[in-house]
A = this chain, B = another copy of it.
Amino acid sequence: MPHPTADPPAAQKSAYHHGDLRRALLDAAEIELTESGVERFSLRGVAKRAGVSHGAPAHHFGDAGGLLTALAARGYARFIAAQDAREKAAADDPRAKLAASGLGYLDFAAANPALFRLMFASDRPDKSDPVLSAAADAAFEKLVRHIEAVSGRTPHTDKSAMSDVLAAWGVAHGLADLMIAGRLGRATFLDAMGDDARDRLFAEIILRAVPERSDGAP
């Protein structure tokens, strides 16, 4: 007789009537998302995957948008983790850390293209949801701190530092989006490159966005 709540190992799906749905639904939804994409995402398909009736998700997430909102929010945690992993392996230099963070951005997009699009290019998640917007803000603040470390100024008040934020975010995001759309790779030399050569190239391109400044004036 396991506890009904807070029992990680006992969260097996073959419980009686309840399990910890919500997590099971989120997991099923992510599989559905990666297999069908955001555009062919089906709520009933998610319920079928979780082995539950088609009306079950409603009580946990309200409607399909609610599920996708929660899924996007959970995605930001892994998104930040992917960047952290790259940063940890990088040299102890602000610019190297920034470039590594950008490579983590690309790693995440490559590993979770459908989730990435759900997070950045879909109208279905409710952006006013507090937990989703908090997760998105955390990711943004991470970039802000990188730029602070590189430039010595805070983008919140310094205009040129905010320009660097825009520039760095723009390249990383653009390369990621073009990559998962399959546009980088045929007309370029990327396929012929090894992974590390590819990383070096992308890191160099990302660093172009925030040029080193010798003076201290804006």
Contacts and interface: CB of A to CB of B under 8 A. Distances in A.
Contacts of A140: 183, 187
A205 B209 contact: yes
Interface residues of A, number: 40
A170 B174 contact: yes
A99 to B, nearest CB: 13
A159 interface: yes
Nearest to A193: B159
A171 B169 CA distance: 8
A122 B184 CA distance: 16
A39 interface: yes
Interface string A156-168: 0001001101110
**Count of identical protomers in the assembly:** 2
A205 B121 contact: no
A175 interface: yes
Contacts of A177: 120-121, 173-174, 177
Given A39-B122, A120-B183, A166-B184, 11 more contacts: A120-B177, A121-B121, A121-B177, A121-B181, A159-B189, A163-B204, A163-B205, A166-B188, A170-B170, A170-B175, A170-B205
